[in-house]
Amino acid sequence: MEKLLTLLNSIAEIPPGLAELLQANLQCREFSKGDYILKEGEVCSNIYFLESGLIRIFNRLSEKEVTSWFLMEGDIFISVSSFFRQQPSYENIVALEDCVCWGISYEQLKNACLLYPAFNAHRIAITEIYYCRSEDRHYIKLRKPPDERYADLVEEESELLNRVPLQLLPSYLDVSRSAFTRIRNNYYYIKRKGISLKQKRPI
């Protein structure tokens, strides 16, 4: 819980009364590797801070799985539309490692914001962070070809690359498994040759 409180205090100082309320309401949940934290069709009733571990958020389109997020310790996660609208989720959230989470329910969060309006500053700041991250991923998918998306993953998200099972990465990059294998092999080939992907393709 201390890591979460530290994060919140880094956004804006938490009033003592609010800190006490959060400590009373926050519940520690432990999930084993492979556990579903949320399944499609369920309502996301809790927002979680991931103290340790790694989770995947994905949905199914026909027979295809589409991964929208991999999140690790220090991140906050929900199924966005399900949580804020309190309606069945189209997403699944699964633990890829043993996870320790601190969660608070939708009603408890709403009550905390009513009792302590200053808490809305934290809520807005966190929403902005994850909205911008989501927009960045959407932009990258639209504007960057798959080989550059893989290069970004290797060079900017190396810890994630080392922890996520290889077979899940194609759905994160929105490519087929065969294309992913080709892109991955090509990346390491051109790295050995000392060629930059950006040199290969004119802007």
pLDDT digits 0-9 by tens, 105-143: 999 999 999 999 999 999 999 999 999 988 888 887 778
Q: Rounded CA gap, 139 and 136, in Å?
A: 5
Q: Rounded CA gap, 121 and 69, in Å?
A: 24
pTM of the model: 0.87
Which tokens go with 129? 């962070």
**Which of 53-62, 91-100, 153-162, 165-174 is the least confident region?**
153-162
The alpha carbons of the chain give a radius of gyration, in whole angstroms, of 19
**Of 46, 26, 15, nearest in space to 115 by CA:** 15
Residues 132-188 pLDDT 10s: 988 888 887 778 888 888 988 888 888 888 899 999 999 999 899 999 999 999 888
**Of 56, 91, 55, nearest in space to 73 by CA:** 55
Q: 53 — alpha (psi -120 to 50), left (phi > 0) or beta? A: left
Domain ranges of the chain: 2-140, 144-200
Residues 21-51 pLDDT 10s: 999 999 999 999 999 999 999 999 999 999 9
Residue 202 has pLDDT above 70, yes or no: no
Does the domain at residues 2-140 carry the CATH identifier 2.60.120.10? Answer: yes
